[in-house]
Structure 1
Amino acid sequence: MMARQRAFQDRASLSDLREDLYQAHGDQLMKPLVAALRDVWDGAHDAVADRLQENRPNGLTIARRLAQQMDDILVTLLEAITRHVHRNGNPSDSERFALLATGGYGRGAMAPYSDVDFLFVTPYKQTAWGEQIAESLLYALWDMKLKVGHAVRSMDETIKMARQDMTIRTAVLEARFIHGDAGIFDKTMARLETELFAQTGMEFVAAKLDERNKRHQRQGGTRYLVEPNVKEGKGGLRDLHMLFWLAKYIFGTREPKELIHLNLFTKEAFQRFERSRRFLWTVRLHLHLVRGRAEERLTFDIQQEIASRMGFLDRGATRGVERFMKRYFLAAKDVGDLTRIICAALEDNQKKQAPGISRFMPSFMQRKQRPAPGFVLTNGRLNFDLDEPLQASPERIIGIFRLSQTSRYDIHPTALELMSDSLGLVDARLRAHEGANKLFMEILTDQDFAETSLRRMNEAGVLGRFVPDFGKIVAMMQFNMYHHYTADEHLIRAIGILAQIERGELKEEHPLATELFPRIGTRKILYMAMLLHDIAKGRDEDHSIAGERIAYRLCPRLGFTAAETETVAWLVRYHLVMSATAQRRYVGVPKTIRDFVAFVQSPARLRYLLILTVADIRAVGPGVWNGWKGSLLRQLYQEADDVLAGANPVQRRSQRAMLAKDQFQENWAKELANDGDDTAKKFLDMHYDSYWTVMDGDSILSHARLMAERIKTGKDIVFAAEDDGFRGITRFSILTDDHPGLFARITGAVALAGLSVADAKIFTTMDGLALDTLWLQDERGQAIADKARIKRLEKAVLDTLGGHVVLPDVLAVRRKAPSKVDAFKVAPDVVIDQDASGTHTLIEVSGRDRVGLLYDLSRVLVAQNLRISSAQIATFGEKVVDVFYVRDAFGLKVTSQTKLDKISAAMLAVFDGLGQEKVA
């Protein structure tokens, strides 16, 4: 018997293997044959892995060789079945059959764990002998642990079902003969062509394009998702397959290179087609082998390994995995370009299907339609009028995008292709052309179509040439979980969101930004700042500082005054400050507001910055923006706007406390009067002034109800949970006897419940009670809709405080579960800020997120005899930033440098596991 080899086996050697086993086992050869062929298939997997390690491997060639190996295995099995297991020395005409590979396998290329799809075609109704053959083959393949898609149909049934079912029609379109009666295959394909394909061309095209659009939406709607699906995603292999399906169905092409002879592709376009196929197939083969299963999604945890396997190394500030993903996104972009070219050719072909129609058109309709000088309409789409060479007026390359916006005509794919082939015309002279720069600004600030036009400019390669610094971030991904899109796609999406805010379409989600937009003054400042805010990503220096320099260099070229340029540059330089302040600092501290206002300096800048921040966060990706972040930004804006208008933050704090007490008494009289005035007075007296300046009216009333419940029921611990749907948060409050480590244990219980803390305020009342309020979110960053989870959280808190759960042990078990964040390295950091507050020491800790991290950090602070007054938690993908406002045991700031160094060391030790067992 043939031993397993790390090589492909040819059909002759498998035939010899079959006969050797027949000689040894007679009619019982199937079991050993199946085992031997499984070894052959495993050896083929090994051969795929070996060939992928060769210099510049061709994934498509390897995938074809693997499909050929499967062909040989199927033929070997069928010959064993028909010759030795179910012999039929004189088969009747009805007992003839053809075995056809279909679907992806029919294309003659497969990945190691792809499905094996095939079809038995018979001339007439299936016979008993035919059923035995098909059944035996299926059992053999199942015993080989292969995933099989199969069908047995007559020729008539094949035609009928292909007519009824578009999936079946697509599968047989790519059918390939493997074994049996070749005449049946030829006749079946001829009938499909004449009886079905030739009559339903545009029906097939429409169905496939609709199917593609729906598939793209399921996969995220963009080819620039940072965890793309190599097979099904936009710009993936399925899109390439679709190109060939359409060409084969309409034009009868058998090989992709025929697309050149049909004038569907230029030689250069065909080369892009082949490069994309080879690259995507290489990636897909690696994916299957790394996972050991049929995996099509290029997730973070395997991107680095595949990048390494494919030879992508770090270069300067750019990591190898980021270079690899850039290559992927450029391939996906090429697939998009090729799709447009094929679709345009199909559209032109359809126009030609009305013979002689021009004879009935008025003469003026037969003349070229010119929507503007230098342009024509081709089948209702904008194209260049090549009576005048493009070289003579290259500003038309910019102008066609603006004309598309104003005329509402789409741009013809051949025009986009011509631009891609003529990028040399987008040079320094064109960039200095006053008219071209004016057109670009009109494109950028168009309220309706800026996003669409910029994306088209980018995909044609024009945007990166006209704004060279933008070209440096095209297809650049940032290897982290926070950013969902490539850097260029993020900027273009941010422009689109900005326009949506301006049009008032996001009024419900972003009421403040929508209200402020008409008051910003010069809208082009905001659009330009949005385009440039991340344009310097991927450089050795801070992208905000480098982006500021780019703004000072680019804006004058585009017609900005010195004052306008300065504002754009300022916004680019400081575009992260408002988000960082809102999410990492407590806005209720007067010094936070004073420092922020001193930085912003003017109401106009504040408005610009608020809108820029909202659009930037929202454009990061689905689920990144939530109501809680919105509420933090609104609060910061309103506080800063008041101070810019002349308010004193310290006086406002005192006034807020007085107003809060008055409002509480009014609310008590309305809603809780039955609990008595004595209870109300007790609640007023039990809190220090800091409580009244921090908590909002709803929270205060909720806390009063808690106190009343504790008095009535005599319970040691009482809970309250209320949702705020607009802010996307659940407020969870606990009132109980105070003791060291209480907050840490509560956060541990929250981790056990699978929830996350966004904010927390911790108060000790004058009579020694602890009132801890946490603002919680679920895995989606939303309020907790399932009330059963709140009940489970309350039980977890009770079990934890009662000593029934040993949190370190339970959380240690939870952390063993695989997590996406395991693919990333985040250097931990501790920043201690004594200037952020006049009464507290601020400790900011950042590092890689994990289950129960807030609990671990809080335990460290407890062990250092520190009191936590508040905590703010901001998560950015795999990175978390936890900010604590703390005081020492005497209620003072921590001033000893030795003590501060010890705190920092203990916090950092949490991230590498050192010393955790010492924190009880």
Structure 2
Amino acid sequence: MTAADSSDNTDSTAIQDPCAWVEQQLAAASPEQLANHNDRVALLKQVLKTGEEVIKRIHLEGAPGMEVCKLRSCMIDLILRRVFDDAMVDIDPQSKTNLTLVATGGYGRGMLNPFSDIDILFLHSDKIKQLDAPSQDAVESVLYLLWDIGLKVGHATRSVKGCVQIGLEDFQTLSCFIESRLIAGDPALFDLFTEKVRNQCINGREDAYLANRFEDLDTRHERSFGTLYVQEPNLKSGVGALRDIHNIIWINYVKHQTLDLNELVNKGLLTAESLDILNEGHDFLLRVRNDLHYEEGRSRDVLTLFLQGVVATHFNYPQRSILRRCEAFMRDYYHQTRSIREITSQVMEGFQIESERKKHTGIISFLARRKEERESFDGFFSEGERLFAEHDDIFREDPARLIRMFQHTQLRHLRLSPNLKDLIAASLDLIDRPFRYNKAHRETFLAILSRRGDVSRTLRQMHRVGFLGKYIPEFGALDCMVQHEFFHRYTADEHTLRCIDMLDSLSEPQNEEQKRFAEIFNRLEDPAVLYLSMLLHDTGRAENARHHEDASALLSSKVCNRLQIKSGRRRLLIFLVDHHLTLWKTATTKNLEDPNTIADFAKVIRSSEYLRYLYLLTYADSNGTSSESWNSWKATLMAQLFKYTINYFENTKAFEERLAIIDPKLREQVLRKLSPGYAEEVDAHIENMPTRYLQSRKVSTIAEHIRVFRKFFEKLHRSDGSALNPAFTWQHREDQGSSKVIVCSWNRENLLARIAACLSALNLNILAADIYTRKDGLALDLFRVCTTNLGPVTNERTLKEFEKLMNQVFSADQIDMAKFIALGEQRQLKRKQDLPQFPQRVLISNKVDPNTTFVEIQALDRLALLTDIFTVFGEMKCEVAHARINTTRGAAIDTFYITEPNGDKITNETKLRDVQNRLEEKLDIPHEV
């Protein structure tokens, strides 16, 4: 029986040491036994397969990440060594080629995740310019065999001189060389390679390499939005991820000639405790990455929402629901990566300080040292834009320094030195109840919040060293808290700090939109209240309350008691926290052209002063949620609501009078916008349109609608078969990033569904819809739409295609919606992505609006979603009075205001239940029992 035959029958569960077993299998097979290429491939494939199965079993049993990676690296070493040695049998031992196999990159590190690339270097002597034929054949033999057994191999063939040359040209390749290992071949040649790389590529270039690593770190972190608290982090290149650890390993070698991080402890750049924490985080990341690779069957670094649940389950998190398991797992992930970020940042800064001090030694740098001013104050001293402690007992001597220190960094624009961060971490126990209630401390904290435009940097420093969560424990409860709301890209604490970033940015506005907000921001009498309300606005999320804003308001009241915030300041702060979603919800779900909407909103807001604070908070909150949560359309809605409400407060009586009656001069005003021949049409329009329309629409807008109705009446007299087709016109608004399509037609079955089908077929996004039915059976439908690039629909070809589709869809009594969906799918970009964990639901309520039934649909966005929804409304004999569509990152949160055909609110419970069931069927949402 051959080795291949025996391995076929091997029980992988009986193997405890995969490396020993692989070595035994390979040793049992001589080159003579496996002279045939196919036999060799079969043996190696089977050995590799069995070895991989054993390593995967060890992982599933809960082995540490490093152990699994080392086992796989060891197994690949054995296979490559055997393959290389067999290939070299036919090469003359006296050959000057001296071919040597070297592991580089992650494989050189001896840490291979299950599907990571295997990077190898075929190294040869400088004595030859290119490989001779036998050596070239050997290289090809090795590579073909490795590929045939299914390994993903990255390779290069270079002389020592060639390696030095590319190491001088490319720091990334140099980093791969730093962790290279000899696999097989000539040890002397490998030693020469490492010596030459060290002497010619590294010595004398340490500072340039350090600068390159800082640049790499900044570039990578920018891709993750500068934070580790993203919703779907990258395990390799994200903030606090594996590459941050690799960076300090490489720099340690460049600076101290060793890959052993214990040298950082010896040099005082790292404590032994911090090194243990770093190794623990490293192992955690590798274990998570191993699980991703095994789950996906390929190399995978992005921890998507879907995979978070998979990993949490595999790691046996005990929580019952998948949501809670994800929450617990991701909290561990953020804690680990935060520790990695803090420790690696501290080490990187230590390297930088080390380099700066070397530059400033000797007589030549005497003047340079003089320029670097040192200022001593309050037990601290500043040097090189960093704050240092005069001695290790400064906080034990005076605990108040813990908060004054941050005021010093704010006023002097300093950052905390690495040693000071260690002192803070060792002193957090001083922040107890008396510390939080201390008058001087709260005055210092509120003074920090009062420095308009320079608050975020200080709060972030507080948060990074753990002070902020200890001093304001209500905020501390948000630490690394995962937010399951789909629109949130960040954890709760990072979202809050990004909101404060947005407030600070208004002190130096970068565009016209920011300038408008900056004007309001700079006039605020009490910026500290705005900043504090921003800090507290989401604290209720940690309470797991149904409405987190209510819980946040209660927690804010506790903070006000502790900080002694009273009277008007207290009322304003609690109002802002309690209503931080009110402006956004009103603007994005209600009809802002309806004066009743403005009046109801104004009564909640109370005053123009409260409105200005809330407007700024809403702007910051939306922009701090994700990059997609604020766009020109939403900005327009917010601005419109703000302007209308300010007008209400300035002249409430006039506004309320407008609600009570229709302007008696409306007919005359509309006619002025039209020619005299429109008199009868104006009369009919005013007589038949709903009161809410006549109260809310501008005179010029009403005139435009009447012109479109005339186009429809003119079509009625045609004999080309299009008499019953709607008439429509487009209006484009570049400043709002959208277009409005005005459609006039007889009210007919599935009218809205047909229009939505045409828009979907062209892959256009519907942002909002206002639906009006006249008493004479005519319908006026106003759709606000945009392209997939969030711009107006100005392409002439698209506009002509829409007209063609409208003619088709309204010329037939029955239409095939699948046909139109297929048209849209052809226009959509084909891209594979994980389905998000996004709770879908249908909510129907008669309490939201006094005149209509409110329907909110939260669903995964897809082509023809609105077509399906409007179809249900049509079949259930429901009239849509108004709709607001909100789509972001693949999720749709749409609101509809519906009525009976006669315009009354739907009160029949059976009908409401049937509408809900039909909608849930269309959206594939299970019915609640």
TM-score (norm 1): 0.90
- When the two chains are superposed, the root-mean-square deviation of aligned CA atoms in Å is 3.3
Query: Is residue 866 from structure 1 mapped to residue 878 from structure 2 by the alignment?
Result: yes
- How far 1:276 moved relative to its partner? 1.1
Which runs of no fewer than 5 residues in structure 1 stay unpaired? 669-675, 916-920
What letter is aligned with 1:508? E
Distance 1:274 1:409 in 2: 30
- 1:806 is aligned to 816
Kindly tell me: are residues 366 and 486 of structure 1, through their superposed partners in 2, closer, same or farther at Cα, counting changes over 3 Å? same
- 1:306 is aligned to 311
Distance 2:667 2:94 in 1: 98
- 1:572 is aligned to 577
Distance 2:893 2:663 in 1: 30
Kindly tell me: are residues 479 and 37 of structure 1, through their superposed partners in 2, closer, same or farther at Cα, counting changes over 3 Å? farther
Identity of aligned residues (%): 25
2:408 match: secondary structure: helix
- How far 1:779 moved relative to its partner? 4.2
User: In the TM superposition, what are the counterparts of 1:330-479 in structure 2 within 5 Å?
Assistant: 330-354=335-359, 356-357=361-362, 361=366, 369-386=374-391, 389-479=394-484
Post-superposition Cα deviations, 1:552-583, rounded to whole Å, max 9, x if no partner, equal 11124334223312221122122112212222
- 1:907 is aligned to 919
Post-superposition Cα deviations, 1:25-76, rounded to whole Å, max 9, x if no partner, equal 42x2x33322332333333443343222224x31112111111111112112
Query: Is residue 40 from structure 1 mapped to residue 39 from structure 2 by the alignment?
Result: no
Assess if the C-alpha contact under 8 Å between 2:689 and 2:772 holds in 1. Answer: no
- 2:88 is aligned to 82
Bigger mean CA deviation after superposition, 74-83 or 644-653:
644-653
User: In the TM superposition, what are the counterparts of 1:276-295 in structure 2 within 5 Å?
Assistant: 276-295=281-300
Assess if the C-alpha contact under 8 Å between 1:102 and 1:118 holds in 2. Answer: yes
What letter is aligned with 1:42? K
User: Residue 845 of structure 2 is aligned with which of 805, 809, 832?
Assistant: 832
- 2:29 is aligned to 20
Distance 1:905 1:574 in 2: 32
Assess if the C-alpha contact under 8 Å between 1:591 and 1:837 holds in 2. Answer: no
Query: Is residue 526 from structure 1 mapped to residue 530 from structure 2 by the alignment?
Result: yes
Distance 1:662 1:201 in 2: 81
Distance 1:867 1:156 in 2: 79
Kindly tell me: are residues 724 and 78 of structure 1, through their superposed partners in 2, closer, same or farther at Cα, counting changes over 3 Å? same
Assess if the C-alpha contact under 8 Å between 2:100 and 2:122 holds in 1. Answer: yes
- 2:176 is aligned to 171
User: Residue 755 of structure 2 is aligned with which of 736, 746, 753?
Assistant: 746
Assess if the C-alpha contact under 8 Å between 1:121 and 1:152 holds in 2. Answer: yes
User: Residue 614 of structure 2 is aligned with which of 609, 613, 618?
Assistant: 609
2:620 match: secondary structure: helix
- How far 1:213 moved relative to its partner? 0.9
- 2:677 is aligned to 678
Post-superposition Cα deviations, 1:427-463, rounded to whole Å, max 9, x if no partner, equal 2232233222222223333323311221121111111
Query: Is residue 149 from structure 1 mapped to residue 154 from structure 2 by the alignment?
Result: yes
Distance 1:360 1:504 in 2: 37
- How far 1:14 moved relative to its partner? 4.6
Assess if the C-alpha contact under 8 Å between 2:115 and 2:299 holds in 1. Answer: yes
- 2:542 is aligned to 538
Distance 2:341 2:785 in 1: 42
Post-superposition Cα deviations, 1:516-540, rounded to whole Å, max 9, x if no partner, equal 3344432221111111000121323
- How far 1:913 moved relative to its partner? 6.3
- 2:743 is aligned to 734
- How far 1:208 moved relative to its partner? 1.4
- 1:52 is aligned to 59
Bigger mean CA deviation after superposition, 607-616 or 883-892:
883-892
TM-score (norm 2): 0.89
Assess if the C-alpha contact under 8 Å between 1:744 and 1:859 holds in 2. Answer: yes
User: In the TM superposition, what are the counterparts of 1:113-192 in structure 2 within 5 Å?
Assistant: 113-124=115-126, 125=128, 126-128=130-132, 129-192=134-197
Query: Is residue 889 from structure 1 mapped to residue 901 from structure 2 by the alignment?
Result: yes
User: In the TM superposition, what are the counterparts of 1:745-784 in structure 2 within 5 Å?
Assistant: 745-765=754-774, 768-779=777-788, 781-784=790-793
Distance 2:427 2:556 in 1: 27
1:229 match: secondary structure: coil
Distance 2:796 2:340 in 1: 47
Assess if the C-alpha contact under 8 Å between 2:760 and 2:824 holds in 1. Answer: no
What letter is aligned with 1:605? Y
Distance 2:663 2:51 in 1: 75
Assess if the C-alpha contact under 8 Å between 1:757 and 1:776 holds in 2. Answer: yes
Assess if the C-alpha contact under 8 Å between 1:300 and 1:820 holds in 2. Answer: no
Q: What is the aligned residue count? A: 899
Distance 2:278 2:369 in 1: 39
What letter is aligned with 2:303? L
Kindly tell me: are residues 518 and 194 of structure 1, through their superposed partners in 2, closer, same or farther at Cα, counting changes over 3 Å? closer
Assess if the C-alpha contact under 8 Å between 1:888 and 1:894 holds in 2. Answer: yes
Kindly tell me: are residues 381 and 786 of structure 1, through their superposed partners in 2, closer, same or farther at Cα, counting changes over 3 Å? farther
Distance 1:491 1:497 in 2: 10
- 1:99 is aligned to 101
Kindly tell me: are residues 640 and 108 of structure 1, through their superposed partners in 2, closer, same or farther at Cα, counting changes over 3 Å? same
- 1:672 is aligned to none
- 2:327 is aligned to 322
- How far 1:387 moved relative to its partner? 6.8
What letter is aligned with 1:113? F
Post-superposition Cα deviations, 1:241-268, rounded to whole Å, max 9, x if no partner, equal 1111111111112222332223221011
Query: Is residue 219 from structure 1 mapped to residue 224 from structure 2 by the alignment?
Result: yes
Kindly tell me: are residues 200 and 693 of structure 1, through their superposed partners in 2, closer, same or farther at Cα, counting changes over 3 Å? same
- 1:918 is aligned to none
Query: Is residue 209 from structure 1 mapped to residue 217 from structure 2 by the alignment?
Result: no
- 1:66 is aligned to 72
Distance 1:657 1:510 in 2: 37
Distance 1:757 1:367 in 2: 59
Post-superposition Cα deviations, 1:761-816, rounded to whole Å, max 9, x if no partner, equal 12345665433221123445554576655555444444443458521576599999
What letter is aligned with 2:91? N
Kindly tell me: are residues 366 and 146 of structure 1, through their superposed partners in 2, closer, same or farther at Cα, counting changes over 3 Å? same
Distance 1:364 1:230 in 2: 41
Distance 1:95 1:507 in 2: 63
Assess if the C-alpha contact under 8 Å between 2:840 and 2:925 holds in 1. Answer: no
Distance 2:85 2:367 in 1: 67
Distance 2:599 2:729 in 1: 34
User: In the TM superposition, what are the counterparts of 1:668-707 in structure 2 within 5 Å?
Assistant: 668=674, 677-679=676-678, 682=681, 685-686=684-685, 688-690=688-690, 691-696=693-698, 700=702, 703=705, 706-707=708-709
Distance 2:624 2:563 in 1: 25
Post-superposition Cα deviations, 1:111-151, rounded to whole Å, max 9, x if no partner, equal 12211111111112232222112122122222233332211
Distance 1:363 1:31 in 2: 69
- How far 1:505 moved relative to its partner? 0.8
2:283 match: secondary structure: helix
Distance 1:512 1:146 in 2: 58
What letter is aligned with 1:433? N
Distance 2:848 2:201 in 1: 78
1:912 match: secondary structure: coil
Post-superposition Cα deviations, 1:466-487, rounded to whole Å, max 9, x if no partner, equal 1112111111111342100110
Distance 1:292 1:787 in 2: 46
Distance 1:181 1:662 in 2: 99
What letter is aligned with 1:843? V
Distance 1:473 1:914 in 2: 32
